[in-house]
Amino acid sequence: MTEFSTKWKSSKKPRKQRKYLFNAPLHIRNRLMNAKLSKELAKKHGIKRISIRKGDKVKIMRGQFKGRIGKVNRASLSKIKVYIDGIERTKIEGSKAFYPIHPSNVLITELALEDRRRIKRQGKKDEKQT
């Protein structure tokens, strides 16, 4: 395994982009799990996007399930995908499996706020950047 380079900016080559994502450490993978908030939530909390978590209610904005709303069942940091209740595909043998969706293709309509510090932490990050 090669070391992750923080100096690498971008490349047009898909091979290098996949390599970057594959070798990315957790703090960068967590940034890639961000999803946009709905207009009401963005105005209420004063942030535009937040890291997606299990329990969030989302609306799918792209792909074959566009427009469907569901609750996040699982968020996979290793694959940078989200699995949503009710969004399934039928396998050849007849069983159902969750359909993986990239977090950038969903819109968060309702936040899971069991962790009270979730929004506060995000707000502090925004203050540091300004």
Domains and CATH numbers, the chain: 14-129 (2.30.30.30)
pLDDT digits (tens, 9 = 90+) for 92-122: 999 999 999 999 999 999 999 888 788 776 6
Instruction: Give residue 124's pLDDT band: very low, low, confident or very high (50, 70, 90).
Output: low
Residue in 3, 102, 98, 92 with CA at minimum distance from that of residue 52: 102
Q: Check residue 41 and give its pLDDT.
A: 93
What would the two tokens of residue 107 be? 């819109």
Q: Where are the alpha helices (DSSP H) in 37-116?
A: 39-45
pLDDT of residue 127: 57
Structure tokens at 4: 């992750």
The CA distance from 37 to 110, in Å, is: 8
pLDDT, tens digit, for every residue of 21-79? 888 999 889 999 999 999 999 999 899 999 999 999 999 999 999 999 999 999 999 99
1 pLDDT above the threshold of 80: no
Q: What is the pTM of this model?
A: 0.83
Q: Which tokens go with 11?
A: 């490349």
Q: For 14-105, list the strands marked E by DSSP.
A: 34-37, 49-51, 57-60, 69-76, 81-84, 88-90, 96-98
Decide if 86 contacts 27 (C-beta within 8 A). Answer: no
Give the pLDDT confidence score for residue 2 in this predicted structure: 63
Residue 20's CB: how many other CB atoms inside 10 A? 16
118 burial type by CB count under 10 A (0-12 exposed, 13-18 middle, 19+ buried):
middle
- The better pLDDT of the pair 113, 123 is held by 113
Cβ-proximal residues to 118 (8 Å cutoff; 6+ apart), any chain: 50, 53, 111
pLDDT of 4: 75
pLDDT surpassing 90 at residue 7: no
